[in-house]
Chains A and B, each alone.
Chain A
């Protein structure tokens, strides 16, 4: 164990070579929407609440990977939180099912202003392959105002990271 620890300390992590760059165009558009109060309050950090609405779990596992050593979300000033009261960003994966709508609206209501919704993956954007089913209402945009979308099925962790950095940049 000690050996492993020592080795891990002196060696570069095997997979940490992610270079995520924010999208300047979206950042500019978002910045225009944000008021100065929000900018003063948030600075360069964002607390993210990830909710898997339904779906296959593909986007959810890729989001989980963001918190691991390979992407190390926290070095960018981003952090996952488990409580909506602490969250700035609601990051949604999976389609919105009828059964989950009440819970999603409840989480959103509990989040303090200013707050954002990021829809990650085809399902969260418009229901994806599950659109048109009796059980699926669509993407999260049906119930909540979406600020940013990240396309893909599932999107890579790097592209999600880049989108989240866009939010920070817009907020600078």
Chain B
């Protein structure tokens, strides 16, 4: 019996547009066991509510398997899927459910400094114990440890990196997360769908459109409504503008000297076009459940096309400047196909190692048509591949945007959403990968929710890719991944 068959044999729950199956503890255990030997299906996320634990898998379609929590225990998936470990730690910190036989039981988000413990559980308890001091890491003779952050770590958010080095070589890098945890899920709870949209838009600024679209799609699925065609089309325009701006920002940070500066200037051109077209440089709050919040402003069309022209014109120069980087990026920083197989990370990180994961293609959603991207070279998951792939994706987005802008459907941009109950799962492909939002609505208010940012699957791979690199190459390697924690830490 395949794992997919084990899951679909469960009791189907009313979730749209894909099914959720409630498994017995025995069936869940059988799935957990089978995951150890079978690489399919990929685990995309794992979260909880007060009574159940939910696992999101990508089989022939996306599907969620749920299991009731017995006391405080559920069977861990981390022995078969290493990607589950971070989620299991988060579930313990937020809901208090314990993963039996989990591979890592350390706290992830909770540094012992919140006023309450297990904030999303039925009855959070006051936190009376003082926070535990963080001890020095264990190093072997001949090694020493470099501590970077949480301020000035080079990541976009506060992250504490502990880098163990032997001479100049990185033996191990560990990221300590949780500094940027803001309690987004607790803040969303009880809010009407549209009032929670500004929170969804501020989970990660570099993917604000993707998060807003995934959030809106989850809500629309739960309520069984569909935005008008113009709403879909404008969401696509915003999402691809966001992708271009984000990729240009990442290239600007990674490339030295003039090429990097030029990418930064081009990014600024896109942000100003965003302002002219939709009224916000980063496109925050431009997408709402039911469609979009704004229509394309007069003059916005021309501003966007002008930015696209400039980017297309500069592409050959930027591409050439990458040629000179081959030497400096030759060693280290590889997140190759083998290590990726058990993680299934989306976005640039996965595609730069030859994976095909792209939510615009599978499962696909409007306004995206048939597959847009065909990798133009064999990708081996190194620094250069990740940078080159971003250039390719900028080119593809440029083509898509011109096509859409030439033929925008007329009509309203937002069809509204009713105040009703339901459960939905939504996905959108952001600049860094597939963003998933899961929502359960009770009479129009959010009863419980989860946000699966693609960075959940990235951090363990970034840690692995940094091992073996020279310490001096670490900043470049890190920038090629565009590491951030805000999306993951919620």
A, B in one complex: yes
Instruction: Give the B-binding residues of A (Cβ under 8 A).
Output: 1, 3-5, 8, 13-15, 51-62, 64-65, 68-70, 82, 94-95, 97-101, 103-104, 107, 128-130, 132-136, 153-154, 156
Residues in A whose Cβ lies below 8 Å from that of B187: 129-130, 132-133
Cβ of B268 within 8 Å of any chain A Cβ, yes or no, is: yes
Evaluate contact between B268 and A68: CB separation under 8 angstroms. Answer: yes
- B254-297 toward A: CB 8 Å interface, digit per residue (1/0)? 00001101101111110110000000011010000000000000
Of the candidates B116, B119, B156, B202, the one whose C-beta lies within 8 Å of that of A52 is: B156
Evaluate contact between B158 and A103: CB separation under 8 angstroms. Answer: yes
Min CB gap B256→A, angstroms: 12
Cβ of B204 within 8 Å of any chain A Cβ, yes or no, is: yes
Evaluate contact between B310 and A14: CB separation under 8 angstroms. Answer: yes
Separation of A134 and B186 alpha carbons in the complex (Å):
8
A1-B258, A82-B152, A101-B113 given; name 17 further pairs at CB < 8 Å: A1-B320, A1-B321, A4-B259, A8-B258, A15-B272, A54-B180, A54-B181, A54-B486, A55-B486, A56-B202, A61-B205, A68-B265, A68-B268, A69-B261, A69-B264, A70-B268, A130-B187
Evaluate contact between A99 and B113: CB separation under 8 angstroms. Answer: yes
Evaluate contact between B179 and A100: CB separation under 8 angstroms. Answer: yes
Q: Which of A59, A101, A130 has the most CB of B within 10 A?
A: A130
Of the candidates A15, A98, A129, the one whose C-beta lies within 8 Å of that of B199 is: A129
Evaluate contact between A134 and B183: CB separation under 8 angstroms. Answer: yes
Given contacts A13-B265, A61-B206, A70-B268, contact A99 B151 (CB under 8 A): no
Evaluate contact between A56 and B486: CB separation under 8 angstroms. Answer: yes
Of the candidates A52, A55, A68, A133, the one whose C-beta lies within 8 Å of that of B252 is: A68
Given contacts A58-B282, A62-B281, A129-B199, contact A103 B151 (CB under 8 A): yes
Residues in A whose Cβ lies below 8 Å from that of B265: 13-15, 68-70
Separation of A13 and B267 alpha carbons in the complex (Å):
13
- CB proximity to A under 8 Å, residues B161-209: 178-184, 186-187, 198-199, 202-206, 208
Q: Which residue of A lies closest to B490 (CB)?
A: A135
Separation of A136 and B205 alpha carbons in the complex (Å):
18
The 10 closest A-B pairs by CB, nearest first: A58-B205, A133-B183, A68-B264, A98-B113, A70-B268, A54-B180, A135-B183, A56-B205, A56-B202, A130-B182
Q: Which residue of A lies closest to B245 (CB)?
A: A61
Residues in B whose Cβ lies below 8 Å from that of A69: 261-262, 264-265
Min CB gap B52→A, angstroms: 22
Evaluate contact between B264 and A65: CB separation under 8 angstroms. Answer: yes
Evaluate contact between B203 and A56: CB separation under 8 angstroms. Answer: yes
Q: Which residue of B lies closest to A72 (CB)?
A: B261
Min CB gap A108→B, angstroms: 11
Residues in B whose Cβ lies below 8 Å from that of A129: 187, 198-199, 202
Residues in B whose Cβ lies below 8 Å from that of A60: 156-157, 205
Separation of A121 and B319 alpha carbons in the complex (Å):
35
Q: Which of A14, A52, A128 has the most CB of B within 10 A?
A: A52
Residues in B whose Cβ lies below 8 Å from that of A98: 111, 113-115
Given contacts A13-B265, A15-B268, contact A57 B183 (CB under 8 A): no
Evaluate contact between A135 and B156: CB separation under 8 angstroms. Answer: no
Separation of A133 and B484 alpha carbons in the complex (Å):
21
